[in-house]
Amino acid sequence: MMRFTLFSRPAILGFATALTIFLTPSANAGLGWETFRFTPRGHAEVVAERAQLTVPLRHAKPDGATITLRVVRLPAVQPRPGVSPVVYLAGGPGGSGVAAAQGARWPIFDAVRRERGVILLDQRGTGGSSPPPACPHKVQHVTSRAQDHAQSLAAFKQAAVRCVEHWRSLGLDPDAYRTTESAADLRVLQTALQADALSLWGMSYGTHLAFAAIKQPGLKIDRLLLMGSEGPDQTIKLPLDADALLARVGAAAGAPDLVERLRRRIEAMQREPLSVEQPAPMVIGAFDLQLVVVAMLARHQTAMMIPAVLKELEAGRADTVVQILARMAQASTSLSLMPLAMDAASGASASRLATVRAQEARSVLGAALNFPFPQIGEGLGITDLGDAFRAEPRSDRPTQFVSGTFDGRTPVSNVTAVEGGFSQRGHWVIDGAGHDDELWLTSPELSELIVRFFNGAAPADRRLGPR
C-alpha cells in the first residue's frame, strides 16, 4: 500500500543499493548457513545464522535469470521436535524482515525463538535481497500554491513513468516484483530448509503475501499468524473506514463533533488556502490537510493529536501541519520499484473500486486515503494480477488474526471481510492499538499468546487490553 503519508510504502523507502541478478541455470536447492552475531537494538546480541537463497527471477522461467534473497535464521534455544519453522513476512511492501526483528519488536521474536526456529526473510527487492537501484527521477512537490488531488497525482505519475522507464532501461522487469513471485519464493525456501511445512507470520503487507501463499501450488503451510490483515482485494482502502476511526478518535478525545469540524475546515481551505511564511513560504490547501490527517490516522498516538491540530488550524495557525507536510514531502520524493510494482499489480476488483469511489464522495478524506493509488499504476505496463488473485482466501490451517481498534491502515473490518474462508480461525482484537509497532506493543498479553499459538494452541477470539 504505497501512500503519500508519513507511513507510506515507497515514500519511506528508496535507499536501495545495486540489483544483483545472476544469469545462472537454475535456483539453488539448499542453503549454506554462516554463523554470525545478530544484534537487536537495545538488547544483547544472539547467535544466529545467515544465508543467501537463490530463486528464479520469474518462476515461470525456472531456467532463466535468478535473484538472491537474504535469509536469517534464529535457531530455537530449546527446539521442539518435529515442528515447522516460523517464517516472518514483513510489511510495507518494502520492509526488511531482518530489520523488523532488530527494533522494538525484538522481545516477541525472542520469545518465539525459545522453542521455534524463526526465519527472517528479506523479500525480493528489499533489504539485503537484491534491491533495485534507486530511481534518479524525483517527485516534484510544489509548495508555492495549494495542490489538489489531480495536480499532486500528476507529479507522482510523471515520476513513476520516468522511474519505470529508467528501471527497464537497466534490464529490470517490474513484473518480477509482484506478490505472486514472492509467494513462489516461499516454496523454494521450504525446499531449501528441507521443511515439511512452513508456519507464516505476516504483518500488514506480509499478510497480503501470506494470503497469496495459501494459493501457491506445492507450498505446505502449518499455521498462519496474520497481524494487521490486508486481504487480496484490500490493497485499496475503504474511505468510510477512515471516517469511522476519526469518529472514534473524536469520542475518545472529548470532541464528538470532530468529523464535522474537520469537514468544515477542509471546505474552508478549499475556498481559501492558508498561507504561511515560516520556516519557508508555503500555501496549504484542503488536499494537503486531508493527506496530513490520513498520515496521522495510522497510529493511535498520532491519531489522538488530530483534534489539537484541527484546533490550531481553526485559530489560524498551522505550525504542526507545516512540520508534517515537510516530513511527508521529504519522505515521498523517491519511488522504489518493489513497492510500486507490488501495489500496482495487486490492484483492486471492479466491485471494490466502485465501492471506494462511492465512499470517496461521502468521506471527509475523499481520495486522499489511497493517494496516489490506484491511478499511479495506470500506464506503467505492470501486469495486473487479476481477480483470481483477489478472490476470497480460503484455508483449513489454524489461523490467528490480530487487529487493533485504532489501526487506520488495516482495520478490524478487514478481518471480518475475509475470515469466513478460514475453517480454523480466531481473532485477537487489541483495544487502543494502531498500526506498526503499536499493534505489537500495546498489549502485554500478546507475546505469550503468540508463543502459545505457534506451539500448538488453537486459534481463539479474544479482546486484549492495553498496558
* Nine-digit cell string for 38: 545478530
| Sequence-separated (6 or more) residues with CB below 8 Å from residue 28 | 53, 54, 192
- What does pTM read for this prediction? 0.93
* Nine-digit cell string for 174: 517490474
Distance CA 144, CA 152 (A): 13
> Widest CA span of the chain, in angstroms?
67
Show pLDDT as tens, one digit a residue, over the chain (467 residues). 443 343 344 333 332 223 333 333 334 457 999 999 999 999 999 999 999 999 999 999 999 999 999 999 999 999 988 899 999 999 999 999 999 999 999 999 999 999 999 999 999 999 999 999 999 999 988 888 888 999 999 999 999 999 999 999 999 999 999 999 999 999 999 999 999 999 999 999 999 999 999 999 999 999 999 999 999 999 999 999 999 999 999 999 999 999 999 999 999 999 999 998 877 788 999 999 999 999 999 999 999 999 999 999 999 999 999 999 988 887 778 899 999 999 999 999 999 999 999 999 999 999 999 999 999 999 999 999 999 999 999 999 999 999 999 999 999 999 999 999 999 999 999 999 999 999 999 999 999 999 999 999 999 999 999 87
CATH class, 10-132+173-235+388-464 region: alpha beta
Closest CA to 101 of 31, 40, 183: 40
For residue 289, CA distances in Å to 6, 252, 258, 371 come to 13, 21, 14, 13
Distance CA 205, CA 228 (A): 8
DSSP 421: G
> Which SS3 state, helix, strand or coil, does residue 125 take?
coil
DSSP string, 343-403: HHHH---HHHHHHHHHHHTTSSSGGGTTTTTTGGGTTS-PPP-HHHHTSPP-B-S-EEEEE
**For the chain, domain boundaries:** 10-132+173-235+388-464
| Amino acid letter for position 31 | L
DSSP 43: S
Q: How many helices (H) and strands (E) does the chain have?
A: 17, 13
| Sequence-separated (6 or more) residues with CB below 8 Å from residue 81 | none
